[in-house]
Amino acid sequence: MSMLLQLKQLAKKRPGSTDSYLFRNLSAAVAEPQIIHLLGFSGQGKSTLLRIIARLSGADAGELYLFDQPMAAYSPEEWRSTVCYVAQQPIMLPGSVEDNLRIASHLQQIPFDRDYARQLMERMELHLDWSKAAAQLSGGEKQRLALIRALLLRPRILLLDEVTSALDIHSQHAVEQVLLELQRSEGTAQIWVTHQLEQARRISQRIWFLAEEQLLEDSSPQAFFHSPRTEEARRFLQTSLEKVTN
């Protein structure tokens, strides 16, 4: 069966350590364009794993496959145009909102799809003057603009690292709807890192739970939230629930 993305025996040591691992022998596969949520306690290497998949950081061991081809078969820029990472801290590039929107088309030497950009802005309820300096936007506006900037690249796989953390609930839902629609209509697979379990419950189609140096669980949201297989996952859900109720 053809695979979108495969992670084979990935390992990453903790920064500065020679024998302590964030994760090792980590394997997983994405066969169809799903929305996957990568969950786990802080410091387990969720963001690091996304950065490795995005080819922004190297793994200490293991291999990545995209469309059944090893990573080495792609140039870094080919890979990153197909598997696009959106960071938790939205970095605005120098210039205006429009300069930021145009950057992907400028880099790829392809025409700028103004209509698509406008449509995404409207659907994410981002009503901005395009000539405004991007650096002057609020945290939530920057986060949405960074996401739209990535979507204009039309990647096949999106890696989203806490991309709604600075949004109010209303904007958060708007962003979720756009990304759900994108998955349905264009078949964009998405791997989300989030600390918001409610969000994972709402839109996730699959859960990866990272703990004890492994993907301890790879299951449907129903199975994970209602009957987690591992003690560690039960502890995670319990702790997260306590945080919410407190």
Partner 1 sequence: MASLTIWFSALFIIIPLLFSARQKLALEKEIAVSALRCAIQLFLIGYVLQYIFASNHPVLIALLLLMMLLVATWNAARRGAGIPGIHWRIASAMIFSELVTMSLLIGTGSIKLTPQYLVPLSGMILGNAMVVSGLFLSQLKREVNSSRGEIETLLSLGATRRQAIQPVIKRVIKASMIPTFDTMKTMGLVQLPGTMTGMIIAGASPVDAVKYQIMIMFSLAAAATLSAMVLALLCYSLWYTPEGYLREQEQ
User: Which of 190, 199, 107 shows the shortest CA–CA distance to 149?
Assistant: 107
- How far, in Å, CA of 231 to CA of 209, rounded? 12
Please name the residue that has the structure tokens 């979507």: 151
| Interface region with partner 1, contact rule CB under 8 A, candidates 40-48, 50-58, 115-123, 206-214 | 50-58
Residue 111 binds to partner 1 (criterion: CB under 8 A): no
Using the rule CB under 8 A, which residue among 11, 61, 128, 153 binds partner 1? Answer: 153
Tally of helices (H runs) and strands (E runs) in the chain: 9, 10
Residue 104 binds to partner 1 (criterion: CB under 8 A): yes
Q: Which is nearer to partner 1, 138 or 245 (CB)?
A: 138
One-letter amino acid at 139 equals G
Residue 154 binds to partner 1 (criterion: CB under 8 A): no
Using the rule CB under 8 A, which residue among 14, 24, 27, 103 binds partner 1? Answer: 103
Using the rule CB under 8 A, which residue among 3, 31, 73, 93 binds partner 1? Answer: 93
Residue 14 binds to partner 1 (criterion: CB under 8 A): no
Angle at 219 between CA 213 and CA 225, to 5 degrees: 95
185: tokens are 């209509």
For the chain, the residue count is 246
- How far, in Å, CA of 14 to CA of 78, rounded? 28
- How far, in Å, CA of 220 to CA of 207, rounded? 6
Q: Which is nearer to partner 1, 149 or 206 (CB)?
A: 149
Using the rule CB under 8 A, which residue among 9, 20, 57, 177 binds partner 1? Answer: 57
Query: What residues line the site for partner 1 (CB under 8 A)?
Result: 54-58, 75-78, 80-81, 84-87, 89, 91, 93-94, 103-104, 107-108, 146, 149-150, 153
